[in-house]
Structure 1
Amino acid sequence: MAEAARDPTRRLVAITIDENSIGRAGPDVEHERRVAIYDLIEDNTFAPEGCGAGPFTLHIGLVDRKLGLQIRREDGEEVMTHLLSLTPFLKILKDYFFICDSYRSAIRSASPSQIEAIDMGRRGLHNEGAELLGERLKGKIVCDHDTARRLFTLIAALSWKG
């Protein structure tokens, strides 16, 4: 769906990361985080259920080993905080990081068909992570599949050790 067709009251306009809980990382990881945030802000559908119109801002941090999603309206009014257990994502993230490492290695020496096969596996895991995220947010936060994919990318970038 084109961005112009999206409801401007059901979207994120800013995302910040709690550096105290998640911490700084190496340049590659920081770059991945910035790209994930940029992509998410550029194109998303996001709205807390039953909380009225936005647009919204999202502040992400870790709270008791859970992902804290603090949502505010653009003017700063607090809307809600949702804590999301990362436990259901651990296996997908582990597999995702493994296949991403395999992809980076394959680029140097594998055939185009081998690289494509690895990339298809990576996309499949990415979709699996997005579907799990969509299920975990159901009834709490409305987001479309593309937004769930971008949020999963951000969760992966926040979890990636480099």
Structure 2
Amino acid sequence: MTSGGEARLIDVELDESIGRSTPDIEHERAVAIFDLIEENSFRPVGDEIGGPYKLRLSLLEKRLIFTTSRECGELVATHILSLTPLRRVVRDYFMICESYYEAIRSATPSKIEAIDMGRRGLHNEGSQTLQSRLEGKIEVDFITARRLFTLVCVLHWRG
């Protein structure tokens, strides 16, 4: 953590480029944002003043744009992250989530547990990929990377 302020997010905003969706998906986005703000470790690399920070996410083609500002609104940094390296794991994560929700209705507890372990494993893989893609740009701990990955997934969820 920097000496000048907190290394954490206090607000996450989705730009209008993200678009709005069904009430269920909007609810999932709100929950993902709430969870991210509730517990996180977030610091743009090279920022000596420190936070707390506000994050604005927007989409441009197949890129996620992270615009970070201080609590007062002063711009700290903008980073553009290609979503292509995450595409496979997000797709696989959605498929296993569908299997998991289907299994909850009819499968044995051991099958549900096995699918859930796979689901958690894919979530961890996506989180690690995201954390490594942010390396050198934004320092995040693994919990924050997991919560950011959840938010990225919800941004892609079509219901």
- TM class, shorter-length: over 0.9
* 2:131 alignment partner in structure 1: 134
Closer/same/farther in 2, CA of residues 34 and 15 from structure 1, 3 Å limit: same
Query: Residue 97 of structure 1 is aligned with which of 94, 101, 110?
Result: 94
1-side partners of 2:23 and 2:113: how far apart? 27
Among 114, 138, 146, which residue is 2:143 paired with? 146
Gaps of 5+ in 1: 1-6
After TM superposition, the runs of 4+ consecutive aligned structure 1 residues lying more than 6 A away are: none
Q: 2:9 matched to 1:12? A: yes
Query: Does residue 34 of structure 2 align to residue 38 of structure 1?
Result: yes
TM-score (norm 1): 0.93
TM norm structure 2 = 0.94
1:1-162 paired onto structure 2 within 5 Å: 9-19=6-16, 21-52=17-48, 53-162=50-159
Q: Is the 8 A contact 2:62 2:84 kept in 1?
A: no
Q: CA RMSD in A?
A: 1.2
Q: Secondary structure at the match of 2:139?
A: strand
Deviations 1:67-111 (A, max 9, x none): 011100011000111000000000000000001111111111011
Alignment gaps of 5+ in structure 2: none
Q: Percent identity?
A: 57
Q: How many residues align?
A: 155
Task: Return the alpha-carbon distance in structure 2 between the equivalents of residues 91 and 59 of structure 1.
Answer: 24
Q: Partners of 1:104 and 1:30 in 2: how far apart? A: 19
Name the CA distance, whole Å, in 2 between partners of 1:147 and 1:61: 18
